[in-house]
């Protein structure tokens, strides 16, 4: 069963959030829903033409959309940025309940730790010596806050999060279940054929409004700190190595890995399963496509794609086209036509015919 939500008249939403209303201001809305399953009392949004069919068939009571997409007979809220507007709608229908002040009877807080009176500490959580938990912060069940670690005001740690000693979590951060902040990095030296572990004495420092996905791990620095700037968003199952710096408002999708001492600029987007080698630099505004392997620094903003090796995105598309033509050769022993020997694939020859080329 979906959680209970508040209800609003369509006109009330526009009064609260702005936008231009087209349709019945008295339409009551009780829930949010996807276009394909929305009913007469649900509100949805449309922002991607790939869902044009669902939009044309929707039974939603109202849809948030761009003014260019209005439809006769459909209640609409028109706005320049439908996804952002709909986030505000979601926040209205399902407001964050906030921290429930107090420490659970089955939690443990060291006498020398500082926990704000308005903070929440859940069952079986532990807050160790010298740690500081800020106002309205939430420490979920089973969390461990290490010695002298700091949790900023308004931050939310879901169940079983570990923040190691001396690490800092900024204000309004969201750390999802099972993530680990400040475990040792991977490093050492050989001594007569045996590895000797390098002690890691740096910290992890997370800025304000950072989000860390479930089971993501961020290693502490060896001597200096691992640092994530304000507004960084990490998906689930990401590995961030020691001494990495990630600039403000960069987002990283699931299963990516960033090796030690890499420097990632601000406002970058790193796709799922991308692999960033250590000791390199990505400029501000770089976009890395999913599963791309980055083995050297990128100093020019843009989109980059590929695995052997990566290239500027448009270059990679040309490489991929050549690879497809190689695959069309049919393997050894197949006699190719003159057009194929000249490099034109069967698909391209068909396109030529369709376009009227001789």
Where residue 66 falls among pLDDT bands split at 50, 70, 90?
Answer: very high
348 has pLDDT over 90: no
CATH class, range 8-93: alpha beta
The residues, ordered by sequence, that sit 6+ positions from 285 with a Cβ below 8 Å of its Cβ are 265, 266, 267, 268, 301, 302
Q: Does domain 102-312 have CATH number 2.160.10.10?
A: yes
DSSP secondary structure letter of residue 69: G
Q: Give exposure, 196-229, as e/b (b: 16+ Cβ within 10 Å).
A: eeeebebbbbbbbbbbbbbebbbbbbbeebbbbb
Q: CA–CA separation, 189 vs 174, rounded Å?
A: 36
Give pLDDT, residue 5. Answer: 66
The residues carrying an active-site annotation are 242
CA atoms lying within 13 Å on the CB side of residue 153: 4
Radius of gyration over alpha carbons of the chain, in Å? 26
Pull the structure tokens for residue 163. Answer: 């923040």
Phi and psi torsions of 33, nearest 5°: -165, 155
Task: Domain ranges for the chain, please list them.
Answer: 8-93, 102-312, 328-358
Give pLDDT, residue 3. Answer: 60
The model's pLDDT over 258-300, given as tens digits with 9 standing for 90+, comes to 999 999 999 999 999 999 999 999 999 999 999 999 999 999 9
Give pLDDT, residue 325. Answer: 87
Helices (H), the chain: 10-17, 52-57, 82-93, 313-327, 338-341, 346-354
Give pLDDT, residue 232. Answer: 99
Q: Which of 18-22, 95-99, 247-251, 345-349 has the lowest mean pLDDT?
A: 345-349
Give pLDDT, residue 332. Answer: 42
Q: CA–CA separation, 35 vs 56, rounded Å?
A: 9
Give the residue with greater pLDDT, 3 vs 31. 31
Give pLDDT, residue 310. Answer: 74
Where residue 83 falls among pLDDT bands split at 50, 70, 90?
Answer: very high
Q: Which of 102-106, 221-225, 234-238, 316-320 has the lowest mean pLDDT?
A: 316-320
Q: What's this model's pTM, rounded to 2 decimal places? A: 0.85
Give pLDDT, residue 4. Answer: 59
Pull the structure tokens for residue 47. Answer: 């922002």
**Average per-residue pLDDT for the chain:** 92
Q: Which of 24-28, 293-297, 344-348 has the lowest mean pLDDT?
A: 344-348
Q: CA–CA separation, 45 vs 87, rounded Å?
A: 10
Give pLDDT, residue 327. Answer: 66
Q: Give exposure, 19-32, as e/b (b: 16+ Cβ within 10 Å).
A: bebbbeeebebbbb
The model's pLDDT over 165-178, given as tens digits with 9 standing for 90+, comes to 999 999 999 999 99
The model's pLDDT over 141-154, given as tens digits with 9 standing for 90+, comes to 999 999 999 999 99
Where residue 32 falls among pLDDT bands split at 50, 70, 90?
Answer: very high
Q: CA–CA separation, 87 vs 83, rounded Å?
A: 6
């Amino acid at each position: 069963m979906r959680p209970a939500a508040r209800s609003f008249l369509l006109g009330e939403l526009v009064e609260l959030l702005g936008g231009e209303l087209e349709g019945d201001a008295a339409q009551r809305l009780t829930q949010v829903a996807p276009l394909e399953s929305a009913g007469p009392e649900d509100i949805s949004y449309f922002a991607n033409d790939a869902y044009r069919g669902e939009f044309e068939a929707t039974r939603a009571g109202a849809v948030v959309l761009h003014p260019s997409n209005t439809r006769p007979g459909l209640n609409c809220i028109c706005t320049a940025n439908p996804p952002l507007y709909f986030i505000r709608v979601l926040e209205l229908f399902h407001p964050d309940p906030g921290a429930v002040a107090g420490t659970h009877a089955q939690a443990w807080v060291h006498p020398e730790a500082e926990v704000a009176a308005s903070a929440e500490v859940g069952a079986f959580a532990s807050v160790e010596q010298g740690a500081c938990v800020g106002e309205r912060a939430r420490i979920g069940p089973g969390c461990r806050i290490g010695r002298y670690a700091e949790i900023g005001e308004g931050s939310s740690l879901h169940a079983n999060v570990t923040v190691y000693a001396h690490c800092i979590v900024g204000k309004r951060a969201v750390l999802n279940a099972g993530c680990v902040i400040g475990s040792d990095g991977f490093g050492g030296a050989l001594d007569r054929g045996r590895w000797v572990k390098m002690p890691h004495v740096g910290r992890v420092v997370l800025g304000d409004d950072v989000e860390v996905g479930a089971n993501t791990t961020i290693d502490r620095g060896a001597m200096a700190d691992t640092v994530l700037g304000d507004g960084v968003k990490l998906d689930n199952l990401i590995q961030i190595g020691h001494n990495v710096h990630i600039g403000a408002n960069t987002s990283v999708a699931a299963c990516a890995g960033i090796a030690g001492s890499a420097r990632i600029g601000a406002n970058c987007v790193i796709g799922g399963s991308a692999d960033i080698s250590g000791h390199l630099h990505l400029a501000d505004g770089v976009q890395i496509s999913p599963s791309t392997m980055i083995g050297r620094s990128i100093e020019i903003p843009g989109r980059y794609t590929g695995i052997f090796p990566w290239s500027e995105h448009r270059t990679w598309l040309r490489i991929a086209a050549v690879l497809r033509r190689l695959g069309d050769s049919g393997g050894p022993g197949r006699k190719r036509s003159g057009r194929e020997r000249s490099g034109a694939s069967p698909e391209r020859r068909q396109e030529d015919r369709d376009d009227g080329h001789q």
